[in-house]
Amino acid sequence: MNVPPALALHHLSKRFGQTVAVDDLSLTVGVGETVALLGPSGCGKSTALRCVAGLERPDAGRVEVGGRDVTNLPPEARHVGLVFQDYALFPHLTVLGNVAYGPRMRGAGRAEAEGRAREALALVGLEDLAGRRITELSGGQAQRVALARAVATGSPLLLLDEPLSNLDEQLRARLRSDLRDLFRRLRAGVLLVTHDQREALAVADRVAVMRAGRLVQVGAAPEVFARPATAWVAAFLGHANVLPCGNGAARLTPGDAVRLGEGDPLPVTARRQTDTGSEVTVAHPLGPLTLHLSAREAGGVEGDRLRLRVDEGRVLTLPDDREPPA
């Protein structure tokens, strides 16, 4: 028996006046799978999520949740759990009251709703805070309560819109691994909207990279980061050495293609200290290479020269779809 995906989007499109926010988007999220919809601000990823949630009506295409066509249904009939960027918790309710709200709205009695709420709070490690007021929580605790509220609904699909963006970097780093562990324990599909490349890589099974309303690459998270499909994707994902090489192509020089301490010494044209060592730019025949060196590797800089060799067999040639410089 074939199990339908938690989410299937078929040729979804959405316009706001003359602006195309989502353009012919097709994507699936499997049962128990986490997919990150990743892209820069304004690329249409949050609009796509709002179309899935029923907060926006698509101009074309179809939305299916668990094999059920929900395209024309209101949000409350779609059976999805939604975590907003600002969490949207009720300050007049306790933690338990907030988490039990979803099940109550879907017809559960008080005892059943509170039981499911306590189970969800245990999943996110907040069972001891059930009686606390929302105003007494830290940012990280509020984020977990919002997650628990979505989980308590028993929805087959969870939608998260930039769930860590309001937290400081240290807390975000810790919660990334917590989210990954939580999602692995759930049987729900998860669609995570984020602009944070590290968040997508740490949390998602698959990554769907979005640009100007369209998907430009979809694949397993490690594969997308290791082998970007185009120069724009490589630059967006944070690869430093994306070098033009003519004929509408670019060369991507990943870190494992560079052999330090081998080859001819090359001029170092720029250098700056970082928390973990230094960043140097080296004049190479392929183009200027920017390298992040550990404190030990930085010791290999001899005056204004660094000895290195590029393994050209590991250099990737990509279509260069970046915007030309103004």
Tokens 């090359």, residue located: 266
| Residue 128, pLDDT above cutoff 80 | yes
pLDDT on residue 223? 96
Q: What is the pLDDT of residues 183-193, one digit of tens each?
A: 888 889 999 99
Q: Are 213 and 43 in contact (CB under 8 A)?
A: yes
Domains and CATH numbers, the chain: 7-229 (3.40.50.300), 232-319 (no CATH)
The residue that leads in pLDDT, 87 or 145, is 145
Q: For residue 20, give the 3-state DSSP assignment.
A: strand
pLDDT on residue 9? 98
pLDDT on residue 1? 67
pLDDT on residue 233? 96
In angstroms, the CA 274 to CA 242 distance is 21
**Mean per-residue pLDDT for 132-152?**
88
Mean pLDDT of the chain: 90
The string of DSSP codes covering 212-275 is: TTEEEEEEEHHHHHHS-SSHHHHHHTT-S-EEEEETTEEEE--GGGEEEEEEEEEEEEEEEEET
Residue 268 in tokens? 């170092």
Q: What is the pLDDT of residues 241-262, one digit of tens each?
A: 999 888 888 898 888 898 988 8
Bridge partners of residue 250, in order along the sequence: 244, 318
Nearest-5° Cα angle at 243, 241 to 246? 165
pLDDT on residue 84? 81
Q: What is the pLDDT of residues 70-94, one digit of tens each?
A: 999 999 899 899 888 777 888 888 9
For the CA atoms of 143, 146, 150, 151, what is the dihedral angle to 10 degrees? 60
C-alpha distances out from residue 174 to 146, 160, 178, 202, 250, Å? 17, 17, 7, 11, 36
Q: What is the pLDDT of residues 249-297, one digit of tens each?
A: 889 888 889 898 888 899 999 988 887 788 999 999 888 999 988 888 8
124 band by pLDDT with thresholds 50, 70 and 90? confident
Q: What is the pLDDT of residues 47-74, one digit of tens each?
A: 999 999 999 999 999 999 999 999 999 9
325 band by pLDDT with thresholds 50, 70 and 90? low
Residue 123 in tokens? 């999943």
Q: Are 48 and 57 in contact (CB under 8 A)?
A: no
Q: Are 229 and 236 in contact (CB under 8 A)?
A: no
The string of DSSP codes covering 262-284 is: EEEEEEEEEEEEETTEEEEEEEE
| Residue 200, pLDDT above cutoff 60 | yes
Sheet containing strand 287-294, strands side by side: 287-294, 277-284, 258-274, 305-310, 301-302
Which helix or strand (DSSP H or E) is residue 75 part of?
none
Sheet containing strand 7-16, strands side by side: 19-29, 7-16, 60-65, 68-69
Lowest mean pLDDT among 50-54, 215-219, 306-310: 306-310
Q: What is the pLDDT of residues 161-191, one digit of tens each?
A: 987 776 677 777 777 888 888 888 888 999 9
Q: For residue 153, give the 3-state DSSP assignment.
A: coil
User: For the chain, what percent of residues have pLDDT higher than 90?
Assistant: 52
| Residue 326, pLDDT above cutoff 60 | no
pLDDT on residue 25? 98
